[in-house]
Amino acid sequence: MPSSDALLTELGSIANDWRWLAIGWHLIFAGLFIALFAGWRPRARLLGLVLVAPLLSVSVVAWLSGNPFNGTMFAVLAAFLIWSVAQLGNMPVIFARSAWVAAGAGIILFGWIYPHFVRMESRVTYLYASPFGVLPCPTLAVVIGITLIFWDLGSRRWHTVLFVAGLLYGAIGVFRLRVQLDWVLLLASVLLGAAMACDPTPLDRTTRGTRHARIWTRAALM
């Protein structure tokens, strides 16, 4: 198994070799954020597919850069989320409670400017060239943040898969690679878990309500 220093060097090389791709993802998602906050409300399934795209990008970059672990993990993650998209509602997304919106915005900002691995000409570089869409942790942070902001985006399956992935990669970053920034990803995952426990998604509430209605209907017919 490679040492922590070797892994950090490899991740740094990937972040800088694929900087052009990271810039592209920043531009795409900047357009998405502008559209969302200007009032556009995509259907949950469409937004779910959009969020899977940078995760697939991380998988492809990892495979092309000789990192089969991240390549496999993010391919599996993307596959589970695409499977989950079938459960997403077909209604336009709406904002979650203000506390979750604030938390999600902070997590997105962290992933957006993720100040690690990239060679920096100036601090402004992090605004457009941090390794979002290229490396695991910043990409997971942005996707988790958007999920918290638009809570009706996902099903229980969607949230659980992201929760587990965030915990895993946050722990790898903090305890294996000694990247202290990744405590934020661990915190983001904990917040996502808390949101699942405290505030079920609309799909979960609908499923639960339908199940209760069936039980009462059967009881009435007996």
For residue 88, name the pLDDT band (cuts at 50, 70, 90): confident
Least confident of 92-96, 122-126, 211-215: 211-215
Top-confidence residue, 218 or 195: 195
Nearest to 184 by CA among 194, 196, 172, 170: 170
Q: Indicate the average pLDDT of the chain.
A: 87
Residue of 1 and 46 predicted with greater confidence: 46
The phi, psi pair for 177, rounded to 5°, reads -95, -10
Query: Which pTM does this prediction carry?
Result: 0.88
pLDDT at 217 over 50: no
| CA atoms of 35 and 47, how far apart (whole Å) | 12
Assign 215 a pLDDT band (cuts: 50, 70, 90): very low
Question: What pLDDT does 154 receive?
Answer: 65
Which pLDDT band holds residue 197 (cuts at 50, 70, 90)?
A: confident
Q: Kindly give the residue spans of alpha helices, DSSP state H, lying in the chain.
A: 4-17, 19-37, 44-64, 68-85, 98-113, 125-129, 136-149, 156-171, 183-198, 202-221
Single-letter residue type at 83: W
In this predicted structure, the answer to whether residue 136 has a pLDDT above a threshold of 60 is yes
Q: What is the pLDDT of residue 128?
A: 92
User: Is the model's pLDDT at 138 over the cut of 50?
Assistant: yes
For residues 111-124, average pLDDT: 87
How many CB atoms neighbour CB 178 within 10 A? Answer: 11
Write down the pLDDT at residue 202.
55
Q: Is the pLDDT of residue 222 over 50?
A: no
